[in-house]
Amino acid sequence: MAKLYINEKNKKGHINAEIYGHFSEHLGRCIYEGLYVGEDSDIPNVNGMRKDVVDALKEMKIPVLRWPGGCFADEYHWMDGIGPKENRKKMINTHWGGVVEDNSFGTHEFFELCEQLGCKTYVNGNVGSGTVQEMSEWVEYITFNGVSPMADLRKKNGHEKPWKIDYFGVGNENWGCGGNMTPEYYGNLYRRYQTYVRHYDHTAPIKKICGGPNVADYFWTEGVLKTCFAPPQPDEGQGTKGLMDGLSLHYYVHPEGWKIKGSATDFDDKVWYKTMAKAAYMEELIDRHGAIMDQYDPDKKIGMVVDEWGCWFTVEPGTNPGFLYQQNTMRDALVAGLTLNIFNKHCDRVKMACIAQMVNVLQSVILTEGPKMILTPTYHVFHMYKHHQDAELVDSYIEGNKTIGVEEEYQVPLLSESVSVDAEGYVNVTLSNLSVTEEVPVDIAFADLQPSQVTAAILKQEMHAHNTFEEPENVKEEQFTDYEINDGRICFKAPACSVISFRIK
Ligand code: AHR
């Protein structure tokens, strides 16, 4: 028996909606086919954007979308993706499958997509192979509301009004695919490039994201912060005061290591627990990178932006290895549940996170095949967690939570939880049972609250369960009614391999 104690009166911090963000790169079938099919497609679309996918993402309440990469960002030249489509340059996407990129999805299309989704925009600039001028002009093109060469070009291309960039990434993985730089070299480039990411609209300053570490590269975090840390300050139009609003972190779960990775659907209990333990490692990464950030930024003025995370398995048999297309099982759902609980509990430092990637690539929430679309188990977790967005984290603690796993190295807590109180006064509880076999009786006890309104949802299935185009609803969120309220406590059994969400008043 486990007891989940909740002190709903003890608010511990704001859960930024952006923690539930997504990432879309020009990679495989993410943008093309997955999101954008073009206006002439037989697949129902609005201005070229798939209607089924947009509707599903809105229902999931997508808060922010990062684009155009990833590694692609540091090879992307935005001017190739504007103007009449027939004149747009074609290029080879050297990173991802060596296919032809026809640039039919560019800046205008990205902002159209975000408008349809109703989400914030996170544009990632090119430091690795781009110039300061190119980056600076992109920002001018998108955001300047006046007379200027770039604003005039935007108008000529059919968009009179500027758009809003909420977040701007100055390069991507510049320790690797973004230029193989040292932290000091990148830190100095960051100082320079970000200077020209101008806030043309002073009422809506762009939040600048500095390229942070890969996994446990604490040397990078220290080196970059030492070189270019300066917290945000009220902008005076010069772009010189305060150099950053966030530092990124990338971490993927490869259960069998980076080289082998392992199948997305064919795994045993041992690999399940390895996967969970590797996902739980996110907490150590946040703590340790966070400790370095604390030395420079004790008031936590800049955010940790985990703008690439998720499971990275071997591609589905018969698919292009450069397209990173993988299935998504209950294992992915539990990784998502666990990771989102970790982010919620570290909302003092983690201000944004983007799961990689949104459609048809890595740990996607949506998979498509021609006109067909399926929602993955990970989608359902994001949907079940959506009430945490912009809510206040509150105190929670599980008594009697044991450790499970394999070998000494791969141990995880049996249950993972996080709890928030939202603007409507509801207490939102999300709880995952990471065991493959063990059902756990749970009692939820509150400090004061006497629950009178309770709604709950559950995602449960055996560990390999997933959705296919033939069986699209094999795994789906269901109403959960199997609980009792005794003496103000909510009592239920959390099935093995399940994610449960409660909304309580
Ligand atoms: O998400 C796939 C790739 O992983 C991204 O392009 C890159 O940033 C990371 O290495």
Catalytic: which of 308, 392, 417, 477? 308
- Residue 275 CA to ligand 1 center (angstroms) comes to 19
Instruction: Report whether residue 307 contacts ligand 1, using a CB cutoff of 6 Å.
Output: no
**Amino acid identity, residue 370?**
G
**Amino acid identity, residue 269?**
D
95 CA: nearest ligand 1 atom: 6
Average model confidence (pLDDT) across the chain: 96
- Model pLDDT for residues 440-461, shown as the tens digit of each residue: 999 999 999 999 999 999 999 9
DSSP letters of 416-462?
EEEEEE-TTS-EEEEEEE--SS--EEEEEEESS-----EEEEEEE--
CA distance 148 to 200: 12
Give the 3-state secondary structure of residue 36: strand
Where do the structural domains in the chain lie, given as residue ranges?
A: 2-57+64-99+212-394
Q: Which helix (H) or strand (E) holds 331?
A: helix 330-345
CA distance 472 to 291: 43
CA distance 56 to 42: 19
CB atoms within 10 A of CB 41: 13
8 A C-beta contact, residue 368 and residue 34: yes
Catalytic: which of 173, 392, 417, 477? 173
CB atoms within 10 A of CB 271: 18
CA distance 150 to 497: 53
172 CA: nearest ligand 1 atom: 8
State which of 177, 180, 252 you would mutate to test the pocket of ligand 1, scoring each by most atoms of that ligand within 8 A of its C-beta: 177
- Please say if the pLDDT value at position 416 is more than 60: yes
State which of 24, 74, 122, 173 you would mutate to test the pocket of ligand 1, scoring each by most atoms of that ligand within 8 A of its C-beta: 173
- Model pLDDT for residues 364-415, shown as the tens digit of each residue: 999 999 999 999 999 999 999 999 999 999 999 999 999 999 999 999 999 9
Catalytic residue flag (residue 308): yes
Instruction: Report whether residue 357 contacts ligand 1, using a CB cutoff of 6 Å.
Output: yes
8 A C-beta contact, residue 174 and residue 125: no
What does the pLDDT read at residue 442?
98
- Model pLDDT for residues 334-368, shown as the tens digit of each residue: 999 999 999 999 999 999 999 999 999 999 999 99
Instruction: Report whether residue 69 contacts ligand 1, using a CB cutoff of 6 Å.
Output: yes
Q: Which helix (H) or strand (E) holds 191?
A: helix 183-195
Q: Rounded mean pLDDT of 18-31?
A: 98
Report the share of the chain in percent with pLDDT over 90: 96
What does the pLDDT read at residue 203?
83
Q: Which CATH superfamily is domain 2-57+64-99+212-394 in?
A: Glycosidases (3.20.20.80)
pTM metric for this prediction:
0.97
Nearest CA to ligand 1 atom 9: 70
- Please say if the pLDDT value at position 428 is more than 70: yes
What does the pLDDT read at residue 236?
58
Instruction: Report whether residue 30 contacts ligand 1, using a CB cutoff of 6 Å.
Output: no
State which of 66, 71, 254 you would mutate to test the pocket of ligand 1, scoring each by most atoms of that ligand within 8 A of its C-beta: 71
Distances (CA, A) of 178 to 74, 95, 125, 129, 173: 6, 11, 11, 8, 5
Instruction: Report whether residue 356 contacts ligand 1, using a CB cutoff of 6 Å.
Output: yes
Nearest CA to ligand 1 atom 5: 70
pLDDT band at 26 (very low <50, low <70, confident <90, very high): very high
Instruction: Report whether residue 172 contacts ligand 1, using a CB cutoff of 6 Å.
Output: yes
Contacts of 343 (CB under 8 A, 6+ apart): 19, 282, 306, 350, 353
308 CA: nearest ligand 1 atom: 1
- Model pLDDT for residues 53-69, shown as the tens digit of each residue: 999 999 999 999 999 99
Q: Rounded mean pLDDT of 110-127?
A: 98
- Residue 69 CA to ligand 1 center (angstroms) comes to 7
Going edge to edge, which strands form the sheet with 2-14? 478-479, 454-460, 498-504, 427-433, 415-421, 392-399, 2-14, 440-446, 489-494, 483-486
Catalytic residue flag (residue 484): no
What does the pLDDT read at residue 341?
98
CB atoms within 10 A of CB 472: 14
What does the pLDDT read at residue 239?
46
Report the share of the chain in percent with pLDDT over 70: 98
- Model pLDDT for residues 220-271, shown as the tens digit of each residue: 999 999 999 988 776 555 544 689 999 999 999 999 999 999 999 999 999 9
- Model pLDDT for residues 478-496, shown as the tens digit of each residue: 999 999 999 999 999 999 9
Nearest CA to ligand 1 atom 4: 70
